[in-house]
Structure 1
Amino acid sequence: MTDLPSKADFAHVRDWVFDLDNTLYPHHVDLFAQIDKNMTAYVSALLGLSREDARALQKQYYFEHGTTLQGLMLHHGVDPTDFLEKAHAINYEVLAPDVDLGEAIKALPGRKFIFTNGSVKHAEMAARALGIFDHFDDVFDIVAAEYVPKPAGATYDKFMALHRVDTTHAVMFEDLPRNLLVPKTLGMKTVLLTPRDEHHEFADAWEKRSDADQHIDYMTSDLTGFLKALL
């Protein structure tokens, strides 16, 4: 589903902030499924757990701490560099260059940022595979966030302060409803990216938008179409 944006509603925007995974590329590409599998394998090897138990713990940490990595660091003293390297050892060739998306991002008035709970290297590899990397001013990653992931308020504060973002003139694009709560309270426009398949199975119920999510201004399953409507 797509809420067609009103141009006037975005006329004030000078900073365009995009999450990476399942946002700059759609859910159905399933790139994140590769990362998910790697994280399960990491937890399994680290703690000597079966795949099922490792996945359950991985998801528990993801829910409680924002990322699996944060939970592993807090509870097991894991080296984040090692984890990120192994988690992102994936095949980026499943991503095809998206010329239309690139042109739409390039044409947006103002600055464009990638704000991800992943690493700069992962963001660069994915965005280069999509052919859109050169249209961004910077990438703010989990290392820059000192490993404290979205949805933590302090992490948004770090990003905004670093880039001197006036949140009343900014918009955030995300695929997780809870990661748009803080941006909305800071005065940003919020856009939720949803799967094209209405019957998409979310791994966890909290990843899906509910009627209680009043902090989401727009929803779309077509990022390119949404941005083109603003140009």
Structure 2
Amino acid sequence: MNINKTLKLASSAGQMILENGGETYRAEDTIGRMLENKVEKVETFVTSTGIFVSVEHDGKIYTKISRVKRRDTDLNKIAIVNDLSRRFSKEEWETLDVDKYIAELHEINSMGKYNYYLRIFAAGVAATTSMMMLGGNSKDFIPTFVTAVLLQIFVLFLEKVGFPNFIVNCFGGGFVTVFGILFSQMGMGSLDMIIIGSIMTLVPGVAITNSLRDIISGDLVSGTSRGVDALIAATGIATGVGAFLKIWAMAGGLR
């Protein structure tokens, strides 16, 4: 067994989980599970921006440090990597083919996200469902659905261009407000409900949940950093919505 390849594989699996929205403790657990029966001792330290793995094998210590720069949400990849880690942990080191798992991990990493049209449709469904739960009615359904769908197309374009998350949220909040004003002025739905429902697709719910779970599990550094990241995203959304509502009010639109 090549210990360096095995260490790299486990570290990459943990990194992939972290990059796609997984919790810190899940990344640590995955790395530990993959290495615990392959080496004499394993220690992991994971933060939201870095992974540190150290193992002891045959009297030697090997260490791998990985910098995590990308953060996204893809629960499908997390589930597939979890399955890979469990299969890997059951392998005996005498018969272990590390190269096969490395190739499989590369294949998982190269997978695209969910289908483009499915994501757009799901955004509309999520927005309208949230709007109805928060007090909207059937009159708000169509304008909220259309606004959320157009918002998702706009956001995916900005992400493809490479805009920072804060800027995407600012522009997204402003985009929703503009369409909310247009629909409400045409008598199609409530301005409040259209904005509230549509921006739910921008709200960093996974980041907030992971922040609380990390803090509860004792990962204070990761939990705090994730919480700050979610706060910045929420601030961006509020800034975009508030700025355009202020402009509309100054133009005499809000009374």
TM-score (normalizing by structure 2): 0.27
Which structure's CA Rg is the greater one?
2
- Say which structure, 1 or 2, has more relative contact order (CA 8 Å, 6+ apart): 1
Larger helix percent? 2
